[in-house]
């Protein structure tokens, strides 16, 4: 059941009134007007966004084969959980984000053993104001072209985890700062030398472009986007409703623990391409200048063998 259907059903049963009577520490269900809320939280962000006076903000999630579920589901639940009762009389006013998936076709997309049916194709998707790009393995030129076109009019085009590689492949991050999963800092810096890779960042913004670190970082970037539109009280209320205790959305530098790369040792060897710990008894390996290097996958072994110095 979609959250909108749940809320509408709750209204019909009189449950929403019960939820609204709970004393929340922030505006989860009974937020202030957008104007007042935004003013209250305006000191929290330097780049606020102006929401429409009425109606919803369309949020497109780009999906393909191998989409990482938490990269999709985390931001999806954030945007779907925002509720501002006083924003207007209709559900479209009170639930200000309209989320939908878009792909090359509406054929089921497999992601981690789960299949979803995309709502739209690149040919017929509604024009988004927010684009979310999770980590995925089915990048195509049609996808990149759609992202390029959509980004001309988005408020935010954001990637989650290694979805940054998809966004980088569009050329839209050229000359800009960006981040990704900590195991992919090196790969991004090598593959896209014109991007300034920001290590230890929970999320990075540049104009209408935004990139987040790995996996759960997408939740924080989504909450930050909510804050940019509707202020800190609404974002805090949304986090409270989700029982999300992380505060990374208030501090983009909160991934500092990943600033220092892990060191590979003979007892705990790491793949030189991605930094993943591997089992030397079973892992693929290559010798270079008298030292043995171990790899998490055949693809990473091939990348290393092609140019070892780049990875060392």
Q: Can you say whether the dihedral through the CA atoms of 193, 198, 204, 206 is positive or negative?
A: negative
The pair phi, psi for residue 101, each rounded to 5°, is -100, 150
Amino acid 234: pLDDT: 97
d(CA 186, CA 103): 29
Beta strands in 74-149 (DSSP E): 97-103, 109-111, 114-116, 120-121, 130-133
**Total residue length of the chain:** 312
- DSSP-assigned states of every residue in 277-295: B--TTTSEEEEETTEEEEE
d(CA 303, CA 226): 39
The model's pLDDT over 260-298, given as tens digits with 9 standing for 90+, comes to 888 999 899 999 999 999 999 999 999 999 999 999 999
Amino acid 260: pLDDT: 87
Tell which residue, 279, 217, 282, has the closest CA to residue 252.
217
Average pLDDT for the chain: 89
CB 247 within 8 A of CB 261: no
The pair phi, psi for residue 132, each rounded to 5°, is -115, 125
The model's pLDDT over 123-156, given as tens digits with 9 standing for 90+, comes to 999 999 999 999 999 999 999 999 999 999 999 9
Residues forming a β-bridge with 158:
132, 210
- The percent of residues in the chain predicted with pLDDT above 70, rounded, is 86
Amino acid 112: pLDDT: 87
d(CA 138, CA 120): 16
Amino acid 227: pLDDT: 98
Amino acid 273: pLDDT: 94
Poorest-confidence range of 13-22, 89-98, 194-203, 212-221?
13-22
Query: Is residue 218 exposed (0-12), middle (13-18) or buried (19+ Cβ within 10 Å)?
Result: buried
Amino acid 37: pLDDT: 40
Amino acid 201: pLDDT: 97
Architecture of domain 3-258: 3-Layer(aba) Sandwich (3.40)
CB 187 within 8 A of CB 209: no
The arithmetic mean of pLDDT across residues 222-246, rounded, is 97
- Eight-state DSSP code of residue 26: S
Amino acid 6: pLDDT: 56
The model's pLDDT over 50-81, given as tens digits with 9 standing for 90+, comes to 999 999 999 999 999 999 999 999 999 999 99
**Would you kindly state where each structural domain of the chain is located, as residue ranges?**
3-258, 262-312
CB 172 within 8 A of CB 147: yes
Amino acid 183: pLDDT: 93
pLDDT exceeds cutoff 50 at 203: yes
The tokens for 272 are: 């030189």
CB 218 within 8 A of CB 75: yes
pLDDT exceeds cutoff 90 at 29: no
d(CA 156, CA 73): 18
pLDDT exceeds cutoff 70 at 208: yes
Architecture of domain 262-312: Roll (2.30)
Q: Can you say whether the dihedral through the CA atoms of 26, 31, 37, 40 is positive or negative?
A: negative
- The percent of residues in the chain predicted with pLDDT above 90, rounded, is 82
């Amino acid at each position: 059941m979609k959250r909108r259907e749940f809320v509408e059903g709750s209204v019909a049963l009189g449950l929403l009134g019960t939820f609204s009577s709970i004393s929340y520490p922030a505006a989860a269900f009974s937020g202030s007007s957008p104007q007042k809320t935004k003013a209250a939280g305006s000191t929290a962000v330097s780049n606020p966004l102006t929401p429409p006076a009425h109606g919803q903000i369309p949020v497109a999630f780009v999906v393909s084969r191998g989409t990482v579920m938490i990269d999709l589901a985390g931001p999806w639940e954030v945007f779907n959980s925002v509720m501002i009762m006083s924003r207007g009389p209709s559900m479209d006013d009170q639930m200000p984000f309209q989320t939908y998936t878009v792909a090359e076709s509406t054929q089921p997309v497999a992601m981690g053993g789960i299949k979803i049916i995309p709502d739209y194709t690149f040919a017929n998707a509604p024009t988004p104001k927010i684009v979310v790009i999770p980590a995925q393995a089915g990048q195509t030129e049609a996808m990149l072209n759609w992202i390029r076109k959509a980004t001309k009019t988005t408020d935010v085009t954001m990637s989650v985890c290694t979805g940054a590689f998809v966004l980088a492949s569009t050329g839209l991050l050229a000359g800009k700062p960006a981040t990704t999963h900590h195991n992919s800092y090196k790969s991004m810096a090598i593959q896209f030398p014109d991007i300034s890779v920001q290590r230890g960042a929970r999320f990075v913004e540049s104009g209408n472009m935004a990139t987040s670190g790995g996996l759960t970082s997408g939740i924080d970037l989504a909450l930050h986007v909510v804050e940019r539109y509707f202020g800190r009280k609404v974002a805090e209320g949304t986090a409270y409703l989700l029982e999300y205790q992380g505060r990374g959305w208030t501090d983009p530098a909160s991934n500092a623990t990943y600033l220092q790369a892990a060191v590979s040792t003979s007892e705990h060897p790491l793949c030189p391409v991605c930094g993943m710990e591997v089992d030397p008894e079973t892992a693929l390996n290559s010798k270079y200048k008298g030292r043995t290097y171990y790899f998490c996958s055949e693809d990473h072994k091939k990348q290393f063998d092609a140019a070892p110095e780049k990875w060392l």
